[in-house]
Chains A and B, each alone.
Chain A
Amino acid sequence: MTGKIKAAIIGPGNIGTDLLMKALRSELIEPVWMVGVDPDSPGLSRAAEMGLKVTSDGVDGMLATMKADGVQICFDATSAYVHAENSRKVNEQGALMIDLTPAAIGPYCVPPVNLKDALAAGSNNVNMVTCGGQATIPMVAAVSRVQSVSYGEIVATVSSKSVGPGTRKNIDEFTRTTAGAVEMVGGARKGKAIIVINPAEPPLIMRDTIHCLTDDEPDQDAIRKSVDEMVAEVQKYVPGYRLKNGPVFDGNRVSMFMEVEGLGDFLPKYAGNLDIMTAAGLRTAEMFAEEMLAGRFSLSTTASV
């Protein structure tokens, strides 16, 4: 396999810039466009300095040339409000959309759990759920692939500094989307998600607790093995993903206590919640890129939205 798949990042904020820094190291993805809406955005100037084409006219500023520039994958790191429109436009230009917003118009994707399904389905838009979802759903799935889980609950605790205004304005979207994906991707019959924001200084590293209630008595050895394997899978793209304690078994309850430290590319290390989103987004893009480079994946140009 030769070459890289060219990509555009929409949204030059913290997430977009962190994603750019990770993508610049990728062996499969070559970021070529950074799209913003504010000509004075520091994120756009940084991207331009790094040699990317930039526009402050939103997605429209890139559309005319994106096909000629070879863009096959776009990342949307803007907001749920504008995502559907962005997605429609880039899909029309034959590019796959990886959605880092909570819009969730495409299928949920948690790379170590269901990325292969997303690939097989040939979706032209995949959604990265939420930071809490990326950090916890692999663990729910690690239990549910051993035995049936009647209820999966996740508690994500994040530092105040790592929670942006978009999440704050619509925190219900976090709880709803995450709970839905705990069911759909994690494999729990019922899902519940809780987010706690802590303002302590220095900022705390993202921590996550996952509780699963199993139908039958937990098969402790099988669950321990499955959990360890899943942690190793996530560590491939988020090295700071750690099982701190557990699995703790208490009757039919299985609990795991995680810590997620980021790589500290553009975002600080404590913001593991943001890092795991950009890392999962890139991981997803790379898996699609592999398929594209091998000629096994072609995107339908009809928009699905």
Chain B
Amino acid sequence: MDLRGKKVVLHDMCLRDGMHAKQHQISLDEMKSIAKGLDEAGMPLIEVTHGDGLGGSSVNYGFPAHSDEEYLKAVVGVVKNAKISALLLPGIGTVDHLKMAADLGVTTIRVATHCTEADVSEQHIGMAAQMGLDTVGFLMMTHMIEAEQIVEQAKLMESYGANCIYCTDSAGYLLPDQVKERIALLRRELKPETELGFHAHHNLSLGVMNSLVAVEAGANRIDGSVAGLGAGAGNTPLEVLVAVMERMEVNHGIDLYKIMDVAEDLVTPIMDSPIRIDRDSLTLGYAGVYSSFLLFAKRAAAKYGLSSRDILVELGRRRTVGGQEDMIEDLALDMAKARGLI
């Protein structure tokens, strides 16, 4: 694979996707020190939001230690060069949240929908584009549909005003060839000026590999997370990706040693438990399940005396989509009843 000279914009997720792994309890000081470290390492984009996006604060997804406003205010104030992005899932957050984030200095808005439901993003993408923000359409769970269908949905987001489209592997399920097929077709079918991004979860240990394949196929923005801090087995570990890209002579703009230090000295110490491919996160990748279901399934399994793997496999079989965290306790209750446990 020859990626020499390709320009890639890396986007860190540890302060947003990492919120899942931290049950949304990252402190303001931790946010600030990590953001500052990332900024100094040359990270161009840093996402800061509740794990489930703006307005995600809820019983369903978890109440965060601080509000989106508090986190954004804190982080925007400490970075010099990095731009701050926020995630928004229509159905959870609204354009009011979007305006709040923009007022606080967020310059990139990523509007995320399930991969078949792009048309719920029209008002949010339209508003962000109208406000002159870097506007990203973020298609989740793209392993569930074929490349041609992804293109249709991506074109909708493009038509609403998105200047960048993401193909997101929310379950960490995609194999390298599937990533290649999706990104290559998007690159052929979308406008040449529309940027293309890829977001991975490391559940099958393919985060780095799939990201490289995505770049080769035409993606120019790649998500990852320092030390991998993210839902499931985490996102593509950015310090690893940077080291690989360095050797492959990709134009990534990051100081390798500095990002290694952020991973080791700032992010790893705040982890509640090691971000690794354990039995459950492997199940996510194998069964095609939304990565942030992980801790919910573990908790429900412990509460009702079930196996979290059984719960996750059943969630995959039922083709649940991102945001259906409420289904997990309901399903666990059904399973516990069926097994005579309650």
Contact = CB atoms under 8 A, between A and B. Distances in A.
B324 interface: yes
A199 B322 CA distance: 12
B319 A160 contact: no
Contacts of A170: 123
A56 interface: no
A9 interface: no
A241 to B, nearest CB: 16
Contacts of A151: 59
Interface residues of A, number: 34
A257 B59 contact: no
Contacts of B326: 155, 157, 209, 257
Given A153-B60, A160-B117, A257 B329 contact: yes
A188 to B, nearest CB: 12
Interface in A151-187: 151, 153, 155, 157, 160, 165, 168-172, 174-176
Contacts of B78: none
Nearest to A169: B122
A194 B329 contact: no
Contact of B91 (A165, A169, A196, A257): A196
A199 B123 contact: no
Contacts of A172: 90, 94-96, 123-124
Contacts of A153: 58-60
B249 interface: no
B327 interface: yes
A6 interface: no
B177 interface: no
B324 A171 contact: no
Interface residues of B, number: 30
A194 B330 contact: no
Interface in B299-342: 318-324, 326-327, 329-330, 333-334
**Which of B91, B318, B323 has the most A CB atoms < 10 Å from its CB?**
B91
A207 B328 CA distance: 13
Interface string A199-237: 110001001010101000000000000000000000000
B125 to A, nearest CB: 12
A248 B58 contact: no
B114 interface: yes
A174 B90 CA distance: 10
Interface string A6-24: 0000000000000000000
A198 B59 contact: no
B116 interface: yes
Nearest to B321: A198
B92 interface: yes
A253 B90 CA distance: 26
Interface in B57-96: 58-60, 90-92, 94-96
Given A196-B91, A209-B330, 20 more contacts: A155-B60, A155-B326, A160-B116, A168-B117, A171-B91, A172-B94, A172-B96, A175-B92, A175-B94, A194-B323, A195-B91, A196-B323, A196-B324, A197-B114, A200-B321, A204-B318, A207-B327, A211-B59, A255-B329, A257-B329
Which 8 pairs show the lowest CB-CB distances between chains A and B?
A209-B326, A200-B319, A211-B59, A172-B94, A245-B333, A257-B330, A196-B323, A195-B91
Interface of B: 58-60, 90-92, 94-96, 114, 116-117, 119-120, 122-124, 318-324, 326-327, 329-330, 333-334
29 contacts: A153-B59, A155-B326, A157-B324, A160-B117, A168-B119, A168-B120, A169-B119, A169-B122, A169-B123, A171-B123, A172-B94, A172-B95, A172-B123, A192-B58, A194-B58, A194-B92, A194-B323, A196-B91, A196-B322, A197-B91, A197-B114, A198-B319, A198-B321, A198-B324, A199-B114, A204-B318, A207-B330, A255-B329, A257-B333
